[in-house]
């Protein structure tokens, strides 16, 4: 057992013990757990799944399964920092008395209309190529809209699905589900892996609802739905790989779904390949991080990129060539490896402790204002940033962290907006 692993396990156990009475430790506990799992499991998964090449890496790369490898150490020190941030914020930021949350139906309506606006911006950003694209990531729409809505839009779409049950009327609930379906089809047709969030979250929400019903009939329904939901996730992931090398878009959606590379519902034996594609795509992080530690672009590039601005406005640094797994230019370096390679273990611990500590404080800010939607947004963004850090470079990571940093400052604005949204009774009477 390495020192980093031992420290991570001790701090993780401490954060787990604190989280029940000090919910501010939750971001650190979740992020540290993810990074610990990646450090321990990803080399083994890669060596099993690499033959399917779901990541774009050559299949002759064999991951070092030792926890002493550079990639494992980068993940372990990041886990140490994450757990440490959770423990420190739990100790020094005691929870205030619980505040009654603002109306859930108000949150649902606000999120839903934000989703509508961002969906329109997302489509205008994609342009006519939304219908047909010959080249992956081709775009002929309004670039400013793409910069704003490319990531934020689908995330708000996911939030709209999460709050659908709180909608004030049946019509609004149907609208929320229809919006989630539109986001799923659009993102899936263009090969975005964000589309996987919709079936996973939707099934999770259904399971939660079925458990609360405490009915064996709904338990049977949930068990029966597990098979098709797993199929949808695997088929969607296979589609995201397929469209990287074939024409795609809404006009090609059904055609691509019927491709031999996409598993079929009635052939579970054919699901092995998509499972290995998915496994190799995620676990490639261990190989990419190993390379990122050795060939980091340097602290100057990583620090210059630490802002939420579009790349062209941020600096003269070329975000493409500076952080690539050369000679495989289509594969980006991982931020966790870059930062560890450039600045060492102490900087890794301090950065990730600062992130999860700040996220814990941010959740407490929203909790004291009675804004559970804000707490959920902070948790979602900080968890997503951890997943991004293991396989994507600094620009994307810093943008997500910038959102986490800015969110608490928007709490007063969100409170004012929600107070001006009509309540369930007022809105329902107006609809009638």
pLDDT at residue 32, as a whole number = 96
- E-assigned strand segments in 237-322: none
pLDDT at residue 178, as a whole number = 92
pLDDT at residue 425, as a whole number = 47
- CA gap 333, 305 in Å, rounded: 14
pLDDT band at 432 (very low <50, low <70, confident <90, very high): very low
Q: For the beta carbon of residue 215, count every other beta carbon within 10 angstroms.
A: 11
pLDDT at residue 429, as a whole number = 47
Report the half-sphere exposure of 66 (CA within 13 A, side-chain side).
5
pLDDT at residue 104, as a whole number = 66
pLDDT at residue 332, as a whole number = 87
Q: How far is CA 174 from CA 34, 158, 165, 210, in A?
A: 34, 15, 10, 19
- CA gap 197, 205 in Å, rounded: 12
365-397 per-position pLDDT tens digit: 988 888 888 888 899 899 999 999 998 888 889
pLDDT band at 350 (very low <50, low <70, confident <90, very high): very high
pLDDT at 31 over 90: yes
Tell me whether residue 400 is exposed, middle or buried, using C-beta atoms within 10 angstroms of its C-beta: 0 to 12, 13 to 18, 19 or more. buried
pLDDT band at 427 (very low <50, low <70, confident <90, very high): very low
Q: For the beta carbon of residue 242, count every other beta carbon within 10 angstroms.
A: 18
pLDDT at 399 over 70: yes
Q: For the beta carbon of residue 421, count every other beta carbon within 10 angstroms.
A: 18
Which percentage of the chain shows pLDDT scores above 70? Answer: 92
223-260 per-position pLDDT tens digit: 888 989 988 988 898 888 888 888 999 999 999 888 88
Least confident of 63-67, 126-130, 340-344, 424-428: 424-428
pLDDT band at 29 (very low <50, low <70, confident <90, very high): very high
281-323 per-position pLDDT tens digit: 888 899 999 999 998 888 888 888 887 765 555 555 555 577 8
Dump the DSSP string for 77-110.
HHHHHHHHHHHHHHHHSPPPPPPPPPPHHHHHHH
Average pLDDT over residues 348-370: 93
pLDDT at residue 299, as a whole number = 86
pLDDT band at 102 (very low <50, low <70, confident <90, very high): low
Q: How far is CA 258 from CA 182, 186, 425, in A?
A: 20, 17, 47
pLDDT at residue 310, as a whole number = 58
Q: Distance from CA of residue 138 to its chain's centroid?
A: 23
């Amino acid at each position: 057992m390495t020192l980093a692993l031992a420290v991570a396990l001790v701090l993780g156990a401490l954060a787990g013990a604190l989280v029940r009475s000090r919910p501010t430790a939750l971001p650190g506990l979740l992020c540290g757990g993810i990074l610990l799992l990646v450090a321990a499991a990803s080399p083994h998964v890669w060596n099993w799944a690499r033959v399917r090449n779901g990541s774009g890496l050559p299949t002759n790369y064999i991951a070092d399964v030792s926890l002493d490898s550079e990639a494992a150490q980068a993940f372990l020190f990041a886990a140490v920092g994450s757990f440490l941030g959770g423990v420190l914020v739990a100790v020094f930021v005691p929870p205030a008395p619980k505040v009654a949350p603002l109306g859930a139906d108000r949150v649902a309506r606000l999120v839903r209309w934000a989703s509508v606006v961002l969906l329109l911006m997302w489509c205008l950003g994609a342009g006519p190529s939304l219908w047909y694209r010959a080249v992956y990531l081709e775009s002929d729409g309004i670039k400013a809209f793409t910069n704003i809505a490319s990531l934020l839009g689908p995330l708000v779409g996911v939030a709209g699905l999460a709050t659908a049950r709180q909608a004030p009327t049946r019509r609004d609930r149907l609208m929320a589900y229809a919006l989630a379906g539109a986001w799923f089809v659009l993102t899936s047709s263009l090969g975005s892996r964000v589309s996987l969030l919709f079936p996973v979250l939707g099934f999770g929400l259904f399971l939660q609802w079925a458990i609360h019903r405490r009915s064996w009939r709904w338990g049977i329904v949930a068990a029966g739905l597990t098979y098709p939901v797993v199929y949808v996730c695997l088929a969607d992931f296979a589609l995201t790989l397929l469209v990287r090398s074939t024409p795609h878009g809404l006009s090609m959606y059904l055609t691509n779904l019927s491709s031999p590379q996409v598993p079929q519902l009635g052939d579970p034996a054919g699901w092995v390949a998509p499972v290995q594609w998915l496994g190799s795509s995620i676990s490639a992080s261990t190989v990419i991080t190993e390379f990122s530690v050795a060939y980091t672009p340097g602290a100057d590039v990583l620090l210059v990129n630490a802002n939420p601005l579009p790349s062209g406005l941020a600096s003269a640094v070329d975000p493409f060539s500076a952080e690539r797994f050369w000679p495989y230019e289509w594969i980006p370096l991982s931020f966790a490896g870059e930062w560890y390679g450039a600045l060492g273990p102490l900087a890794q611990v301090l950065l990730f402790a600062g992130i999860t500590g700040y996220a814990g404080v941010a959740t407490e800010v929203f909790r004291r204002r009675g804004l559970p939607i804000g707490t959920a947004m902070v948790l979602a963004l900080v968890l997503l940033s951890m997943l991004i850090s293991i396989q994507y470079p600094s620009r994307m990571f810093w943008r997500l962290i910038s959102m986490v940093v800015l969110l608490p400052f928007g709490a007063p604005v969100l409170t004012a907006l929600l107070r001006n949204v009509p309540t369930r009774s007022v809105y329902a009477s107006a609809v009638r």
